[in-house]
Amino acid sequence: MILDDFSLAGRVGLVTGAARGLGQGHALALAEAGADVAVLDIFDCAETAAKIRDLGRRAITLQADLSKATPEDLAGFVETAVAGLGRLDILVNNAGIIRRQPAAEHSAANWNDVLTINLDAVFFLSQAAGRVMIAQGSGKIVNIASMLSYQGGILVPSYTAAKHAVAGVTKALANEWAASGVNVNAIAPGYMATENTRPIREDADREASIAARIPAGRWGTPRDLAGVLVFLASAASDYLHGAVIPVDGGWLTR
């Protein structure tokens, strides 16, 4: 039956940036579909882990600052997830930061901090997870891209560079790993009501101009991404490789 293809029963996922917002939503979506989940964040993930356990699934927490993590550290997080939950089938690269500063003044620190978390960690976590998945002949990597994987944005050159690169890395890894049974795809959320977008939402004029351009007539929520995430993490997407799927309330159609 087709709905069986969407089940994640017996699967194990690792979600970064899972303490709150979209990341917490991703972790809970995997758990609702049947997966056990390792959750990683610089912040305490106890709340997310408790919610996962309330759904009858296992959870382990990892606390780390991805801006300081080496490739070896990132590989270690994957190893810890495997050791704690027995395997690894799904990686969701969600963790990210944004620094707003005009391009003419955009500091080296703002550039490097964003690229380190939003791109370097994505690649090296994917690399480590990919080794596990290639060895077992199956796996799903879901990267979180952005509308700024397509567009230039305002005041966020480092974030735009990183999210364009995430789309490219998604395609590059898909090309190499598809034949090994590993699917690498991405979700490009539209404007989401999260902590990252709080400064924009607090600017009444800008918030109104954005909302007016969204055909759905509202900002997105973590729940709006749950169905696509479960699809990409499940057997239902076994022949989908290198896709970057907008979930944007129709933003790109305007």
Number of Cβ within a 10 Å radius of residue 253? 8
Comparing CA positions, the residue from 90, 119, 118 lying closest to residue 183 is 90
| Beta-carbon-side half-sphere exposure of residue 116 (alpha carbons within 13 Å) | 14
Q: Find the angle CA(152)-CA(144)-CA(43) to the nearest 5 degrees.
A: 110
The catalytic residue among 150, 159, 191, 239 is 159
Comparing CA positions, the residue from 143, 246, 240 lying closest to residue 183 is 240
Question: Catalytic: 150?
Answer: no
CA 188 to CA 193: how far, in whole Å?
Answer: 14
Burial class (CB in 10 A: 0-12, 13-18, 19+), 179: exposed
Q: In terms of residues, how long is the chain?
A: 254
Q: CA 132 from chain center: how many Å?
A: 19
Residue numbers annotated as active site: 159
